[in-house]
C-alpha cells in the first residue's frame, strides 16, 4: 500500500510548477506506481474531490470543526499567519511553528480515504463527536505536509493547479490511449477516478466498458455565450434551433420503468424535493426507459415564471415537501432526449434528438423552440422570450451531437447583460496559474443611508491574467488587514461589473447577491462615493420580480 505522504509531496511538486507537460509527467509516474485499488481514490483526492460527482456523500467538515479538532490534537490555540494563501497552507505554517511531529503508524492513501468515507457516513445523534474523533485520528498520524493536504481536501481548497481536465490529459500522455476515448469514458462514467483506474489498470478495453447507465447521471452539455443574435448566427450558420432560456434549474431525468430519478446539473439526486415531477414523468413519458433533460421553473398562480431564488427554496429540500409544493408550485420543460429503451442518442444530431423527444414526451411541456433562418427571426424570438419573463434564448446547432461535460460553440446562450459600478473591498489569493496574484474580488455597493460599502458578490472572472497581475500590487497598497487567504482593502478601486440578475441573499448584510458577476472594465474616472447603491440593487431585483 502507498503512503499518503507521497500524494501530499506530489501536490507540493504540482503546485510548484505551471508547466502542463511537467504536470502530466508527475501525475502519470505517480498513478502508475501505486496499487490498482488506490488509483481511483488517489485521482479524486489529487483534484480535491473526495467522492465521485454522482455520489451524494459529503464529509461536511466546517472551518470551525477543523479549528476545533486541530487545537485539541495539538493542545494549543491556532495562530494564523498573514502570508498563508489558503487554509491548508495556514495549517502547515502553524504546525511548523509548533514543531509538530506525527504520532503512530504512517498514513496510507486508503487509510485516509476510508476515514473520509466514515466521516461522511456519520450522521444523527453523536455524529459531530464521531466526525471530530475520526478527523483527529488522521491529524495525529499526519506529518506537517500531510496535515496540509488533509485540510485542503476536507475544506475543498486543493489549489495545486490540477483540474479534472489536466488529470485526463495526463492519462492521455501516459497511456497512449486516444484522447477521444478517455474523454468519452469520462463523459459517460461521471467519475474521473473510475476513468483513471480503467485507463491505467485495464487499458483501452476497460475504458470502453464504461458506458451510459440508467441511474448514473451524465455531466450536462454546456454552452458558451454570444452577445447578439447576429453573433450567434455567424458562429452557427442557419438554420439554427432557438429555445427559450428559462430562469430555472436544469434537471436530468432517469426513468427505468416506474422508477424515476431527478438529478441536478451538479449530479445530485433531487428526486425527493420534486416528487410531482417524478409522478408526471412516470405517467406521461412514452418509453419504458429513458434519459431526458429539462428545466424546472417556479410558477405563480397564473403559470408565470417566478425568480430563480424562489425555486431554490424547493430544489434539494427534503423536509416539509408537501407544504412547499403548495407554496412554490413548479413546472417541467423538456429539451433533450439522450437515451430511450436501450438506444443511446448522444451521437445523434440535435434535430433528431428533438424529434424523438417530441414523440415520447406525452403531455410534459417542451421548452418553446423555433428554427430560425435569419437575424430578424431570431431577434423576434428573443424578444418574445424576454416579454414572457424568461432570461433569453439558447441557440443550438441542429447537427450537433450531445457532448457531456463539454462547453463548446454548438450551443450558445444569449442573455441581456446588466452592468453596475461597484468597488473592490477584499480579494483572495489565487491558485494554479494565478498563484501569487489576488484574483477573487469581493464586490460591494454603497448604502446611501449609512455610507457603508456592503458586499454583493465575488468574482474571479472577466479580467485577463495580465490585468489580475497588475491589479495585485495596487490592492496590496490599499491593504487594511488579512484573514487567512483574504486581503481586505480600502474601497478605492471602482470596477464595472456585468451580471445576469440579482437575487436575495441571507449571507450578505446587503441582502442581495449578483448572479454570474464578471468584471468588464476598471473605472478610474469614478470614486467610491459615486458607485451604485444597495438601494438601486434592491429596486432592480423588485422590478425583476425577486
Give me the residue label for grid cell 459615486: 530
What distances in angstroms separate CA 320 from CA 262, 296, 300, 308, 327, one per listed residue? Answer: 18, 19, 19, 20, 11
Helix (H, G, I), strand (E, B) or coil at 236: coil
What distances in angstroms separate CA 527 from CA 404, 421, 472, 522, 538, one per listed residue? Answer: 45, 10, 19, 11, 22
Q: Which residues pair with 366 in a beta bridge?
A: 334
Backbone angles phi, psi at 233, to 5 degrees: -75, -20
Let me know: does 362 contact 286? Beta carbons within 8 Å.
yes
For the chain, state the CA radius of gyration: 25
What distances in angstroms separate CA 546 from CA 292, 303, 511, 515, 540, one per listed residue? Answer: 29, 16, 12, 13, 9
| CA pair distance 167, 49, nearest whole angstrom | 12
| CA pair distance 413, 443, nearest whole angstrom | 25
Per the residue annotation, which of 131, 148, 152, 245 is the catalytic one?
Answer: 245
CB atoms within 10 A of CB 282: 13
* Strand spans (E) along 375-450: 392-397, 407-414, 418-429, 438-446
Active site residue 152: no
Name the residues annotated as catalytic: 245
Amino acid at each position: 500500500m502507498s503512503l499518503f505522504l507521497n500524494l501530499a509531496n506530489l501536490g507540493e511538486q504540482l503546485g510548484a510548477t505551471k508547466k502542463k507537460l511537467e504536470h502530466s509527467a508527475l501525475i502519470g509516474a505517480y498513478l502508475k506506481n501505486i496499487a490498482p485499488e488506490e488509483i481511483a481514490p488517489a485521482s479524486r483526492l489529487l483534484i480535491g474531490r473526495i467522492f465521485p460527482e454522482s455520489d451524494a456523500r459529503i464529509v461536511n467538515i466546517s472551518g470551525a470543526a477543523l479549528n476545533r479538532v486541530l487545537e485539541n490534537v495539538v493542545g494549543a490555540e491556532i495562530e494564523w499567519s498573514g502570508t498563508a494563501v489558503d487554509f491548508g497552507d495556514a495549517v502547515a505554517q502553524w504546525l511548523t511553528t509548533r514543531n509538530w511531529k506525527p504520532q503512530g503508524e504512517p498514513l496510507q492513501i486508503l487509510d485516509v480515504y476510508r476515514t473520509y468515507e466514515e466521516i461522511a457516513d456519520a450522521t444523527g445523534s453523536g455524529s459531530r463527536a464521531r466526525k471530530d474523533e475520526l478527523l483527529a485520528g488522521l491529524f495525529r498520524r499526519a506529518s506537517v505536509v500531510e496535515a496540509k493536504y488533509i485540510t485542503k481536501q476536507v475544506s475543498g481548497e486543493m489549489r495545486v493547479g490540477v483540474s479534472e481536465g489536466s488529470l485526463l490529459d495526463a492519462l492521455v500522455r501516459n497511456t497512449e490511449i486516444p484522447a477521444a476515448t478517455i474523454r468519452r469514458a469520462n463523459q459517460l462514467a461521471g467519475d474521473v477516478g473510475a476513468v483513471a483506474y480503467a485507463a491505467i489498470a485495464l487499458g483501452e478495453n476497460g475504458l470502453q466498458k464504461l458506458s451510459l447507465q440508467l441511474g448514473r447521471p451524465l455531466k450536462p452539455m454546456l454552452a458558451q455565450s454570444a452577445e447578439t443574435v447576429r453573433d450567434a448566427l455567424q458562429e452557427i450558420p442557419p438554420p439554427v434551433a432557438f429555445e427559450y432560456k428559462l430562469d430555472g434549474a436544469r434537471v436530468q431525468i432517469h426513468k427505468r420503468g416506474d422508477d424515476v430519478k431527478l438529478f441536478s446539473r451538479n449530479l445530485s439526486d433531487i428526486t425527493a424535493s420534486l416528487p410531482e415531477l417524478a409522478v408526471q414523468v412516470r405517467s406521461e413519458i412514452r418509453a419504458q426507459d429513458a434519459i431526458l433533460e429539462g428545466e424546472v421553473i417556479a410558477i405563480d398562480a397564473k403559470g408565470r415564471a417566478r425568480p430563480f431564488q424562489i425555486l431554490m427554496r424547493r430544489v434539494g429540500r427534503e423536509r416539509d415537501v408537501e407544504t412547499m409544493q403548495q407554496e412554490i408550485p413548479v413546472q417541467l420543460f423538456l429539451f433533450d432526449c439522450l437515451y430511450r429503451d436501450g438506444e443511446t442518442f448522444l451521437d445523434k444530431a440535435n434535430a433528431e434528438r428533438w424529434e424523438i423527444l417530441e414523440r415520447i414526451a406525452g403531455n410534459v411541456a417542451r421548452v418553446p423552440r423555433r428554427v430560425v433562418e435569419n437575424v430578424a427571426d431570431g431577434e423576434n424570438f428573443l424578444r418574445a422570450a424576454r416579454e414572457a419573463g424568461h432570461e433569453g434564448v439558447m441557440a443550438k446547432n441542429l447537427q450537433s451531437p450531445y457532448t457531456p461535460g463539454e462547453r463548446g460553440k454548438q450551443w450558445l446562450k444569449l442573455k441581456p447583460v446588466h452592468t453596475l459600478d461597484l468597488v473592490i473591498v477584499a480579494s483572495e489569493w489565487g491558485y494554479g496559474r494565478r498563484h501569487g496574484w489576488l484574483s477573487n474580488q469581493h464586490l460591494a455597493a454603497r448604502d446611501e443611508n449609512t455610507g457603508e460599502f456592503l458586499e454583493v458578490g465575488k468574482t474571479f472572472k472577466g479580467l485577463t491574467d495580465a490585468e489580475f497581475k497588475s491589479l495585485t500590487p495596487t490592492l496590496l497598497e490599499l491593504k487594511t488587514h488579512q484573514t487567512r487567504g483574504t486581503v481586505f482593502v480600502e474601497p478605492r478601486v471602482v470596477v464595472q461589473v456585468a451580471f445576469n440578475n440579482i437575487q436575495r441573499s441571507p449571507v450578505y448584510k446587503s441582502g442581495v447577491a449578483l448572479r454570474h458577476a464578471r468584471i468588464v472594465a476598471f473605472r478610474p474616472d469614478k470614486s467610491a462615493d459615486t458607485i451604485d447603491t444597495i438601494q438601486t440593487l434592491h429596486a432592480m431585483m423588485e422590478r425583476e420580480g425577486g
